[in-house]
Amino acid sequence: MFKLNLKIALRNLWKNKGITAINVGGLAIALAAFILLMMYATYETSFDKENPNYDRIYAVGIAYPEFKTNYVAAPFAKAIKQNFPEVELAGLVKGSSFELVIKNGKNTIFTNNILQADYHAAKILNIQPNGGLQKPSGDAQRLTYLSEENMRVLFPNKNDHKPEMVGFGASNSGITGIIDGSIKKNVQSNFNFDGISIGNEFGGSDNYDMNDYTIYLQVKPETDVIKLSQKITDLYRAELLKSSGSKKTIDEVKGIATFLDPLSNLHLRPKAGNNGPYKVLIALSILGVLMLVIACINFTNLSIAQAAKRAKEVGIKKVLGAYRFQLTIQFLLEIFMQCMTATILALILAELVLPSFNNLFQVKLAIWSFGNDLLLQLPLIVCIITVVAGTYPALVLAGFKPALVLKGNFSTSKQSSWLRSGLLIFQFSIAVVFIIGLFIINSQLKYMQNEDLGFTPNQVVYIKNISFFNQPVKFEPVRDKILKVPGVQSATVASFIPDGKASGINNYTANGISANIDFVDVDFDYFETLDIKLREGRFFTGDFKTDTANSAIINESAVAKYGLKNPIGKIIRGCEINYKIVGVIKDFKSQGFENSVQPTIYMIKDPCSNFKTQIMLKVDRRQMASALATLKAKWPEINPLDGEDFRYEFLDELYGKLFKKQEQLQSVFFAAAILTIFIAGLGLFAFAKYITNGRMKEIAIRKILGATDLQVLKLINTSFFVMVVIANLLSWPLAYILTKKWLKTFAYSIDIPMMPFILSTLITIVLTLFTVSLQARKAAKANPVDALKHE
């Protein structure tokens, strides 16, 4: 019996090749998109899961009244371990602040991120160098490991784990060090690095003002993390009050709390960061599921549309003794075969699209990789799709009454008609949401690209550098040499560049108000190089000796933060210095559009500073190529510590990376909108075909009574037009709520325009009229005799 049913299924599928191709093709496309998006979701939610203590690791953060941060003072790690027995390990990690050049003869690498970690942190984070994790023998010893890729570049013929001597900086710098071995990089980790330096212990002093480390804790099983977090807060407040370096009052300390951020949060939704990536991932996951649902709806409608052609077969089989259950199983078998075919095609499509997908999201996903759970889950997904998309059509086909269908009555119930209409409206509602979302994402991205940033990153060259220029007198000879290069208009150095990354934060007091605000340590010509606008006062200049001692410039947000009226000449105190405000600059979006402009102070002298290493040059566009070539040739003379290793990036390109997530989302929504419109169009085609076939007699009679082709087209199009309008009206509130929620992730965003809603309606109406008219035209042109002759 199975063999017979299989033959019948294959014959029927082959007989209706066009409909089968549409059915299988639509499902394959949706399933391919679902596979890619689910693989990406699995990848993003699997960071650091290889760590055996994944569920017991937390980062310690500090919550100030104005912001949250994961940067903490180093001695606090030891204090936590000493006071709380439920903490098994407490470790410290610190990232590098500049690109480091490492050489072995002519072999050179440029490392962007050499992590510093104590031995306890290395154990917590499961950092395993090749040859095993070793504990440094003393407080002074540091064990340094480079990634396997970097070690292969430096030592192409190395086959052991023995230490090697390398040079740092320029070839003639004379700075050397030992690399103790290699370590495998885990790209699917929050702790991705070019190399790591492991020390026995960090943070010997009791200074709680220098918050430049991240503390990680490994707690014992069954620990009450909420209670532990409160106890850590109490300890931190006590340590601040007794710290010799801290000058905070009791009232200030009461406004400070700590929190524990699980390792599982750090990649997508850190408490001290932006959870935008998590929201985007949720949106992409829902998008993948909805596309599959739409394809299933389309599959269902198209299968029911073919019911009339199978009605007589069902009637004859029932007359010959077939049970409804047997017929249902037969039709489910046909649908399962189509789903299996669609799955195979989906895997092929996904494999073909995967390189572009990986390039878009900057990942390295592989469908056929070992341990890919999706391949194991696909058979279950196919069975679910078969049941969801095939059960109702199978029951409809198996439920035909023999006496009626053999007379030519193939109509289904009104309940079926309402269900199919509802499914079609649902399909188009989702498609409309995607179309509106695409238009609004595109509008926000255009706004971000065209909006005035408050500074000009164009023509600014950022030069990577390892020399420290904390004092203007050290950078002055370098600036003089740089300015002699034709095309270079200005040069400056600072502790941070406006590329979207957060700057340093410290406590400053003005107008009787104490607050934590951002700080940037700069040199002369910083504001002129970036074309930052002055609101009042003046910029730093060598004409005033006090500018290198105790002058400061603040932005408009800082003026508002401290409630300063006539701020020029007022005092703002921080780092044991009374700074005199000499200028106020207009706010500029140094951290992009997702974060609001922070109150910021700019100084030349700062005892609490980070190192000034970020060199920026303003270069004439017409002489850009020649200027860069000259700088490269003369760099050993200009900046001997960097020597022959001249590296640069364009600031506008660095800033443009802030738009990457939105550009990814735009690309995905564009693809999703096209696919959902295509799949919804297939569903519309199926439903139009079904309705038209069911009304052939009616159309024939109307034509005999004198109806024109235009009247027939209007008759069939009217009901579909109404359904699409209803779909738009239902989707508008949902689209508005979802896009409004997405726009709230930006500090600076557009107001939701009306045009996307109007355009989505026009697009879906035109698509509907075109698709339905293709079927209606066939019915209008058909000979009425063919529809009525069997009567």
Query: What is the tens place of the pLDDT at every residue in 132-147?
Result: 888 888 777 788 899 8
- Confidence at residue 204, expressed as pLDDT on a 0 to 100 scale: 58
The Cα–Cα gap between 513 and 574 comes to: 12
Task: Decide which of 188 and 123 is more confident.
Answer: 123
Residues 6+ apart with CB under 8 A from 448: 593, 659, 662, 748
Least Cα distance to 662 among 560, 709, 594 occurs for 594
Give the whole-angstrom CA distance, residue 554 versus residue 561: 11
- Short-list 362, 420, 432, CA closest to 43: 362
Give me the torsion for CA of 448, 452, 458, 463, rounded to 10°: -80
Q: What is the pLDDT of residue 741?
A: 86
Q: Is residue 744 part of a domain?
A: yes
In a domain, 621, yes or no: yes
pLDDT at 704: 75
β-partners of residue 58 are: 217, 262
Q: Decide if 476 contacts 650 (C-beta within 8 A).
A: no
Q: What mean pLDDT is predicted for residues 495-512?
A: 86
Q: Quick check: is 459 in a domain? A: no
In angstroms, the first-to-last Cα distance of the chain is: 36
- Please provide the DSSP assignment of 660-699 as one string: HHHHHHHHHHHHHHHHHHHHHHHHHHHHHHHHHHHTHHHH
- DSSP-assigned beta bridge partners for residue 572: 579
Question: Whose CA is closest to 333, among 321, 344, 325?
Answer: 325
pLDDT in tens, 47-79: 998 899 999 999 999 998 878 888 888 889 999
One domain for residues 484 and 418: no
pLDDT of residue 539: 95
Which of 134-143, 300-309, 428-437 shows the lowest mean pLDDT across its residues?
300-309
More confident of the two residues 750 and 368 = 750
Query: What's the pLDDT at 477?
Result: 93
Please tell me the distance from the alpha carbon of residue 111 to that of residue 195, in angstroms, as a whole number: 8
Q: Does 345 fall in a domain?
A: no
Distance CA 300, CA 27 (A): 11
Q: Is the pLDDT of residue 314 over 90?
A: no
DSSP letter assigned to residue 306: T
Taking only the tens place, the pLDDT of each residue in 21-33 is 777 888 888 889 8
pLDDT per residue as tens digits for the range 200-239: 877 656 677 777 789 999 999 989 999 999 999 999 988 8
* Same domain, residue pair 432 and 496: no
Residue 602 and residue 726 in one domain? no
**Is pLDDT larger for residue 669 or for residue 570?**
570
Residue (of 143, 135, 129, 132) closest to 185 by Cα position: 129
The residue ranking higher by pLDDT, 777 or 406, is 777
How many other CB atoms are there within 10 angstroms of residue 339's CB atom?
28
Full domain range(s) for residue 250: 54-265
In a domain? residue 34: no
> For residue 784, is it within any domain?
yes
Q: Which amino acid is at 574?
A: G
Helix runs in 129-185, H state only: 148-154
* Count: domains in the chain: 3
Residues in the chain: 791
**Cβ-proximal residues to 749 (8 Å cutoff; 6+ apart), any chain:** 444, 447, 593, 743
Answer yes or no: do 434 and 510 share one domain.
Answer: no
- Asked whether residue 442 falls in the same domain as residue 539, the answer is no
| pLDDT score recorded for residue 425 | 86
For residue 504, list its beta bridge partners. 519
Q: pLDDT (tens digit, 9 = 90+) per residue, 83-102?
A: 999 999 999 998 876 778 88
Distance from C-alpha of 115 to C-alpha of 426, rounded to nearest angstrom: 51
235 and 131 together in one domain: yes
Mean predicted confidence (pLDDT) in 248-261: 82
- Would you call 93 exposed, middle or buried from its count of C-beta atoms within 10 A (0-12, 13-18, 19+)? buried
664 contacts: CB under 8 Å, gap ≥ 6: 280, 360, 361
- CA 238, chain centre distance (Å): 39
Q: What pLDDT is stored for residue 399 in this prediction?
A: 60
Amino acid 245: pLDDT: 54
Residue 261 has pLDDT above 90, yes or no: yes
Residue 535 and residue 556 in contact, taking contact as beta carbons nearer than 8 Å = yes
Domain end (from 577, 607, 641): 641
Count CA within 13 A, CB hemisphere, residue 164: 22
What distance in Å separates the CA atoms of residue 302 and residue 416, rounded to the nearest whole number? 13
Rounded to two decimals, the pTM is: 0.81
Residue where the block lists tokens 């740089």: 482
More reliable by pLDDT, 267 or 412: 267
Distance between CA 436 and CA 755 in Å, rounded? 9
State the average pLDDT over residues 280-295: 84
- Please state, as a whole number, how many other Cβ atoms lie within 10 Å of the Cβ of residue 651: 24
pLDDT for the residue 57? 95
- Residue 397 pLDDT exceeds 80: no
For 525, which DSSP code?
Answer: T
Residue 644: CB atoms within 10 A of its CB come to 14
Residue 196 CB neighbour total at 10 angstroms: 23
Interval 695-715 mean pLDDT: 74
Mean pLDDT of 679-684: 75
Structure tokens at 365: 């996903």
566 and 672 belong to one structural domain: no
Alpha-carbon distance 784 to 188, whole Å? 66
**Across residues 294-310, what is the average pLDDT?**
71
pLDDT reported for residue 292: 84
447 and 479, same domain (yes or no): no
pLDDT at 769: 85
Look at residues 223, 247, 265 and tell me which one is the last residue of a structural domain. Answer: 265
Same structural domain for residues 522 and 447? no
How far apart are the C-alpha atoms of 622 and 601, rounded to whole Å? 34
Average pLDDT on 359-363 reads 85
**Which of 120-129, 218-227, 769-778 shows the lowest mean pLDDT across its residues?**
769-778
Confidence at residue 729, expressed as pLDDT on a 0 to 100 scale: 92
pLDDT recorded at residue 56: 94
pLDDT greater than 60 at residue 380 = yes
Q: Where is the domain boundary, 612, 641, 670?
A: 641
Phi first, then psi: what are they for 143, rounded to 5°?
-100, 120
Q: Alpha carbon 581 to chain centroid distance? A: 40
**Average pLDDT, integer, range 551-577:** 93
Residue for token digits 């109307």?
702
Q: CB 733: neighbour CB atoms within 10 A?
A: 9
How does DSSP classify residue 129? B
- Burial of residue 477 (CB within 10 Å: 0-12, 13-18, 19+) is exposed
Specify the pLDDT at position 402. 60
SS3 187: coil
My answer on whether 152 and 238 are in the same domain is yes
**154 Cβ neighbours under 8 A, 6+ residues apart:** 102, 103, 104, 107, 109, 146, 164, 166, 179
Return mean pLDDT, the chain.
Answer: 83
Asked whether the beta carbons of 509 and 573 are under 8 A apart, the reply is yes
Question: Do the strands 488-494 and 614-619 form a parallel or antiparallel pair, or are they unpaired?
Answer: antiparallel
pLDDT in tens, 711-765: 777 777 888 888 889 999 999 999 999 899 888 888 899 999 999 999 999 998 9
Mean pLDDT for the stretch of residues 325-333: 71
Give the per-residue pLDDT at 561.
93
- Report the distance separating Cα 452 and Cα 459, nearest Å: 16
Indicate whether 628 pLDDT > 60.
Answer: yes
400 pLDDT more than 60: no
* Any domain includes 176: yes
Cα dist from 248 to 225, 479, 505, whole Å: 27, 39, 15
Q: What is the per-residue pLDDT for 422?
A: 80
Residues 435 and 542 in one domain: no
**For residue 522, is pLDDT > 60?**
yes
pLDDT of residue 3: 65
Strand intervals (E) in 200-310 = 211-219, 257-262
Q: What is the pLDDT of residues 567-613, one digit of tens each?
A: 999 999 988 899 999 999 999 999 888 888 999 999 999 887 778 88
Share of the chain above pLDDT 90, in %: 32
* Together in a domain, 527 and 636: yes
For 179, the token pair is: 């690399």
Does pLDDT of 789 surpass 70? Answer: no
Asked whether residue 390 is assigned to any structural domain, the reply reads no
Q: Report helix, strand or coil for 342.
A: helix
